[in-house]
Structure 1
């Protein structure tokens, strides 16, 4: 699809002697070489691979989202933008735009030629949306249906979707970080960015409770030496903030992928809760965090793991919780703990003594330390 749009953009640019951009509602789909006169907004869109946010108020004033015919967007001296033609790509819904800088001004014949190119681009975008809708429905069915519907969905995806029957398969979940939710509009935007950054053999679909995006990919398509979750976590940092990624264990068949959905969700939760994972976690590499996947994720569950630990979940005791977490994370090394917390060791000992009083437990007991570290990890996973 992208290759067809790129050829179309290059040909139109050559015919009209000016650069051409083709965008959908959230990303740049194709860009010709910078022919003729260009402005900074055009350069920024190409570099960022998405529409330039700074010119959106200008576009709203020209009502391009409602347009059905080409719209001439006037130059704006304050924004430093040149006049440009916007050709909407629309059926019953808006799919995107073709943009051409109007310097020198387009003749009526040239504008009609651009409209014809827009009709061809619309055909490509319509086919893409139909294909994505079909594969999205099949992926939803694969992840939620019972047998034999699950097997049928897997077979249909291998026949009609982008995936080859080349196991193992990896299920990746993208969700908002702690304290955030993805609105419906954000889901579409995140999904579009994922499709742009994923290899061709991948599928993306919104699943679950409205704030998760599931990505299905064969492990063989991942970049050598780079984890799927790490690659996606890095790629998403330049868009919607505070997104985290979790992957399940590799599945031997496509039909077995749904068994990893819970694991991928849990890995994403850990990635959102534990800064050491850097926003991306693989279920197979969670270590002792996997011990907490199926315990009761409540304050009562925290208390069952370590009597008295629930008091440290009180926001008023955050300082003591942070101190103990750091202390346990350094295996009880007071010097290193004080360095990490940027406090004097005398202050550290006072805090630890006060924490023991709150807990009613001695940190000198190895079993208490083990129980407390697990309890505090569980506390980090609780809803906030």
Structure 2
């Protein structure tokens, strides 16, 4: 089976890196086209042997991109088109139909309670989303929470499949050597208590709350933020104004997999360097960073994480939901620090989100879609 994945961009983000990991496990011949930004994940995919095309789209209203994408799909002889992220779902579904490909699957990665990929929910956004959705066969929700949000928007239940994101848990297994290497690289003292955050440095992630919490914590506490984005300067400024600039480390974007041309630690190595992960974002569609932290044996404080919340509370003993602001996080961090380090092991729940399991479920869906099966009748 030949599959084309269409995605809005290939910078270092959760959906983008999830795609790269998935393609390592899917038993299908997969190519990728990115509408914009062929960033580090594009280079990683190419290194994995995946053919990546850049459409060179100029913006949301670059309608000339549609015939280019249509020609690319028609010329590739694809059996199925799989779209990812809002803009790619709109253009990719339409282009697939114009190219004569009827097997069209989309994954909804980023619909929050009030925002879609940073856009506020509005009547216009919702109408355009629903119009595009009808051009495909099925929309994959990465969590039951996302499926519920899609139904509230008006997507028919029989057109939704829940296939959760997956992780390669062994890659995140705690390693003392990697911990020391990462701390040495970023100048983190061996005896420091390191609070970590992973994600795009954007307002919705609320990492400024962690900077404010840092100012309420002892001097041996450090904050290690992994990610890049428009809030970087504001976070540095806030740390400087609060007098904790020397205790904040911003790594920029870091890949899931090591880059042989870059000596900096990758994401699993940075998780080893942390003592706790804090995720104060109030709107998540899945919570991949929380799951990866659990795989690294870290305790986790979070505001929103469907990957955890959709499971029984006893299944994830290392995760605690925190409501409130900087003071609430500071109190919880002090509690964890006082409790001392525990054994670094991954809870059993991590196996529930194994990437190989996700790939098998998706491949079953591909097979049904390409065969023209009645997907609505087989909804689960």
| TM-score in terms of structure 1 length | 0.25
Q: Whose helix fraction is larger, Structure 1's or Structure 2's?
A: 1
TM-score, structure 2 length as denominator? 0.25
Structure of larger gyration radius? 1
